[in-house]
Amino acid sequence: MTRKLLIGAHMSISGGVFNAFQHGEEVGCATIQIFTKNSNQWKAKELTSEDARKFRESQEKTGISPVVGHNAYLINLASPKKDVYDLSMEAMLVELNRAELLGLPYLVMHPGAHLESGEKVGVRKIARSIDKLHQETKGFRVKICLETTAGQGSSIGYRFEQLAEIMDQVKESERLGVCYDTCHTFAAGYDIRMKTAYENTFRAFDKVIGVQRLKVIHLNDSLRDLDSRVDRHQHIGEGKIGLEGFRLLMNDKRWEKIPKILETPKEGGTGKDIENLNLLRSLVN
Ligand code: ZN
Ligand code: MN
Ligand code: MN
């Protein structure tokens, strides 16, 4: 099995965080993404040093690296609702601590949804919140990676400018990275289906954010059209982006060392992950 390409998929942690490695290995992942805790609950069972030891042991045995963390969907650092916001800050701090304990280099985070408070207020609130989190995690190596979003509802991050603005407003911005989700950006209006469009999109990304800040790529085709602002993942080549966009991405030397991770539908098993990964490998010249 070829391990040269830094591709993989999001893996389940049910039964323990370390289980993700075995699943990842079965599917042929060189890299994986995990939730650091249950993704749709606030509470988490404490992560013990024994859990962390088992995790590192499994990582060493499988050689899967890096392992990217993804935060829980409930977390919203832009929420104007005090109860949700307080829970979000608390949960994000817990997730950063878990990620650090497990040695994850990145924790991908959806920037947040401003609800009725407006984008400008939302962006400021996210930046201030990240400042607080940074203050409370001094010396941590894990970097928060802001994920590009589809712009569904009031979610922030569907324009590169919004992510750039958050990073500009964060004091220790060198502790931040960006995660580019192909489905989200496409739904947000950034086309990558043909060479010219692809080049224009990443030229804009470089100009506004800077390619050096790109740390993680999520490889998802999109069920919905360009600029639909609807976030629905589809299997590679079976959505509105199509194979050519992924061929351009897989052959772009700039992303060789960046973990490229599938978040495509599992449909009750990992069989589709194997198919998607094989398809991605076949696209490389
Ligand atoms: Zn995400
Ligand atoms: Mn994603
Ligand atoms: Mn998504």
- For the cut 90, the answer to whether the pLDDT of residue 268 exceeds it is no
- For the cut 70, the answer to whether the pLDDT of residue 123 exceeds it is yes
Question: How far, in Å, CA of 134 to CA of 257, rounded?
Answer: 26
Spacing, Cα 113 to ligand 3 middle (Å): 14
Pick from 211, 220, 222, 213: which is nearest to 187 by CA? 222
Strands 106-109 and 67-70: parallel
Spacing, Cα 281 to ligand 1 middle (Å): 23
How is residue 111 written in tokens? 């920037």
Q: Are 23 and 56 a contacting pair, CB within 8 Å?
A: no
Pick from 149, 102, 105, 157: which is nearest to 127 by CA? 157
Q: Which DSSP string do the residues of 100-141 spell out, in sequence order?
A: HHHT-SEEEE--EE-TTS-HHHHHHHHHHHHHHHHHTTTT--
Q: Find the mean pLDDT for residues 14-38.
A: 96
Share of the chain above pLDDT 90, in %: 94
Residue 28: pLDDT band (50, 70, 90) is very high
**Residue 73: C-alpha distances to residues 53, 108, 125, 147, 234 (Å):** 27, 11, 18, 12, 19
- For the cut 60, the answer to whether the pLDDT of residue 163 exceeds it is yes
- Residue 1 confidence (pLDDT): 45
Q: Are 78 and 114 a contacting pair, CB within 8 Å?
A: yes
Q: Find the mean pLDDT for residues 145-152.
A: 98
Higher pLDDT, 2 or 77: 77
Pick from 96, 109, 121, 19: which is nearest to 64 by CA? 19
What pLDDT, in 10s, does the model give residues 53-69?
999 999 999 999 999 99
What pLDDT, in 10s, does the model give residues 204-233?
999 999 999 999 999 999 999 999 999 999
Spacing, Cα 183 to ligand 3 middle (Å): 7
Burial annotation 135-163 (CB, 10 A radius, 16+ → b, else e): eebeebebbbbbbbbbbbebbbbbbbebb
Residue 3: pLDDT band (50, 70, 90) is very low
Between CA 72 and CA 81, with CA 76 as vertex, the angle to 5 degrees is 135
Spacing, Cα 181 to ligand 1 middle (Å): 8
CATH numeric code, 2-282? 3.20.20.150
The backbone torsions φ and ψ at residue 39, rounded to the nearest 5 degrees and listed phi first, read -80, -15
Spacing, Cα 1 to ligand 1 middle (Å): 28
Task: Return the residue matching tokens 């602002």.
Answer: 229
Domain chopping of the chain, boundaries = 2-282
Question: How far, in Å, CA of 166 to CA of 159, rounded?
Answer: 11
How is residue 73 written in tokens? 């969907």
- For the cut 90, the answer to whether the pLDDT of residue 180 exceeds it is yes
Spacing, Cα 40 to ligand 1 middle (Å): 13
- Residue 2 confidence (pLDDT): 47
- Residue 193 confidence (pLDDT): 98
Spacing, Cα 139 to ligand 3 middle (Å): 30
Task: Return the residue matching tokens 């984008």.
Answer: 119
